[in-house]
């Protein structure tokens, strides 16, 4: 089918055979006529179990992540929950990089223990600590976010895959920040990729969704609830059983977002690098976290495993009140959670997206500001940040 941009436009986008419409129509039907009892015409009987618009979207997601199969979900957390249900059972453990999204942290530290499972969080940028945790716990799953949310940690996917597989564990990578336009974890040895498609894949702040994409030939390796023993089938069984499915219009929005994903992410990442560099020149900024900067501790790994550095920049200013004032003082940057949209966003992670981590070893620095860079003019965004920082310093400095 061709290179990434070509597949993004064409996979799952067959022209309508009746009208010739370039964009396939959205199938809103909840149920489908059968000509014979128990024999669906095209494999669809009820839209919880399958929908043509969802199937097209999943085909495109699998193609862009270079996986065997993808499943679309109504949110990123539902995708994560389903993957964990499919891969783990009571008594299993999960080792995870502790700088993860607050909702993911809650899954590991509240829901998994309630199901009799054990989660071990660690600084996965420390290869020695990661190795010790994997060999010491013999986990069923190793879970990474790279780049991470919101500290922009970068973790070596290929090296972690080798460690995980040596103890029989599955490696799951949250690829939300990088997107398949700038990182392909399955090609680096990961077994499953998860996304909040709410973010860059949707790209326009009008969709909540999630996805999981599976490597080829992935077997559960023990008895499960599906008949085949294949991990994608196991995950699909749980998705269908719990009803964790997106509506057709959300699938259409996500699929539309894929068509422009590479162009949007490249443009936003280019601006992000310039903004990160500009922030390093401001005396009020104590630390800038962006893997595209040469001084970032994960820069070499990011350069090796990514084709770009994403559209999220975080920085610290040394004082929580100053950080909050900066967040409240921008004019172009909207004070809002989420990321990856065409509009630039600013937020205070300790209170807005990661409060679940308060009073834990994974607590977010209280002086941290997170930016999601959109598609506005880069100079305008730098000017907006500069004036917000200057006003905040004048008030709290």
Stretch 119-139: mean pLDDT: 96
Count of domains in the chain?
Answer: 2
Write down the pTM of the prediction.
0.97
Q: Tell me: the pLDDT tens digits for 50-67? A: 999 999 999 999 999 999
Q: Are residues 372 and 228 in the same domain?
A: no
- Tell me what pLDDT residue 397 has: 64
C-alpha dihedral sign at 50, 56, 60, 66? positive
- Tell me what pLDDT residue 248 has: 98
pLDDT at 359 over 90: no
Q: Which of 210, 228, 251 is the last residue of a domain?
A: 251
The structure tokens listed for 44 are 């669809």
Q: Are residues 171 and 238 in the same domain?
A: yes
Domain housing 375: 262-396
Q: Is residue 135 very low, low, confident or very high in pLDDT (cuts 50, 70, 90)?
A: very high
Q: Are residues 91 and 189 in the same domain?
A: yes
Q: Is residue 195 very low, low, confident or very high in pLDDT (cuts 50, 70, 90)?
A: very high
CA distances for 273 relative to 239, 294, 314, 321, angstroms: 38, 11, 12, 26
- Tell me what pLDDT residue 395 has: 85
Q: Tell me: the pLDDT tens digits for 320-341? A: 999 999 999 999 999 999 999 9
Q: Establish if 71 belongs to a structural domain.
A: yes
Q: Are residues 60 and 128 in the same domain?
A: yes
Q: What value does the mean pLDDT of the chain take?
A: 96
Q: Are residues 247 and 266 in the same domain?
A: no
CATH number of the domain where residue 177 is located: 3.40.640.10
**pLDDT over 90 percentage in the chain:** 95
pLDDT at 1 over 80: no
Q: Which residues are catalytic?
A: 48, 101, 174, 199
Q: Establish if 30 belongs to a structural domain.
A: yes
Q: Establish if 256 belongs to a structural domain.
A: no
Q: Are residues 167 and 134 in the same domain?
A: yes
Q: Tell me: the pLDDT tens digits for 258-314? A: 999 999 999 999 999 999 999 999 999 999 999 999 999 999 999 999 999 999 999
Q: Which of 202, 220, 251 is the last residue of a domain?
A: 251
Stretch 6-30: mean pLDDT: 93
Q: Establish if 175 belongs to a structural domain.
A: yes
The closest alpha carbon to 247, from 82, 43, 27, belongs to 27
pLDDT at 362 over 90: no
**pLDDT over 70 percentage in the chain:** 100
Stretch 205-229: mean pLDDT: 96
């Amino acid at each position: 089918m061709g290179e990434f941009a070509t597949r993004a436009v064409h996979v799952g986008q067959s022209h309508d055979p009746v009208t010739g419409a370039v964009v396939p129509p959205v199938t809103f039907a909840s149920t489908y006529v059968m000509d014979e009892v128990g024999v669906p015409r095209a494999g669809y009987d009820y839209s919880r179990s399958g929908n043509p618009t969802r199937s097209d979207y999943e085909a495109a997601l699998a193609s862009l992540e270079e996986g065997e199969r993808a499943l679309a979900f109504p949110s990123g957390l539902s995708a994560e929950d389903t993957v964990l249900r499919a891969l783990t059972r009571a008594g299993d453990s999960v080792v995870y990089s502790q700088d993860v999204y607050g909702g993911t942290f809650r899954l590991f530290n509240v829901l998994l223990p309630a199901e009799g499972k054990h989660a071990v969080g660690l600084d996965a940028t420390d290869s020695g600590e990661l190795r010790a945790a994997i060999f010491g716990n013999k986990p069923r799953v190793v879970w990474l976010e790279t780049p991470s949310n919101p500290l922009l940690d970068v973790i070596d996917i290929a090296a972690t895959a080798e460690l995980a597989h040596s103890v029989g564990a599955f490696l799951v990578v949250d690829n939300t920040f990088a997107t398949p336009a700038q990182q392909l974890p399955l090609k680096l040895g990961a077994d499953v990729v998860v996304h909040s498609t709410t973010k860059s894949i949707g790209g326009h702040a009008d969709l909540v969704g999630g996805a999981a994409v599976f490597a080829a030939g992935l077997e559960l390796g023990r008895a499960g609830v599906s008949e085949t023993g294949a991990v994608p089938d196991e995950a699909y069984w749980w998705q269908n059983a719990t009803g964790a499915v997106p509506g057709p219009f959300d699938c259409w929005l996500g699929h539309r977002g894929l068509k422009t994903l590479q162009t949007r992410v490249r443009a936003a990442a280019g601006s992000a690098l310039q903004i990160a560099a500009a922030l390093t020149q401001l005396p009020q900024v104590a630390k800038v976290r962006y893997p595209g900067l040469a001084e970032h501790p994960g820069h070499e790994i990011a350069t090796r495993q990514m084709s770009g550095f994403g559209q999220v920049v975080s920085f610290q200013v040394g004082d929580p009140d100053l950080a909050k004032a900066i967040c409240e003082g921008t004019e172009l940057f909207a004070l809002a959670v989420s990321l990856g949209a065409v509009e630039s966003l600013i937020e205070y992670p300790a209170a807005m997206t990661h409060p679940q981590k308060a009073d834990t070893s994974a607590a977010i620095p209280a002086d941290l500001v997170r930016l999601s860079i959109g598609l506005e003019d880069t100079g305008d965004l730098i000017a907006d940040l500069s004036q917000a920082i200057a006003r905040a310093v004048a008030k709290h400095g």
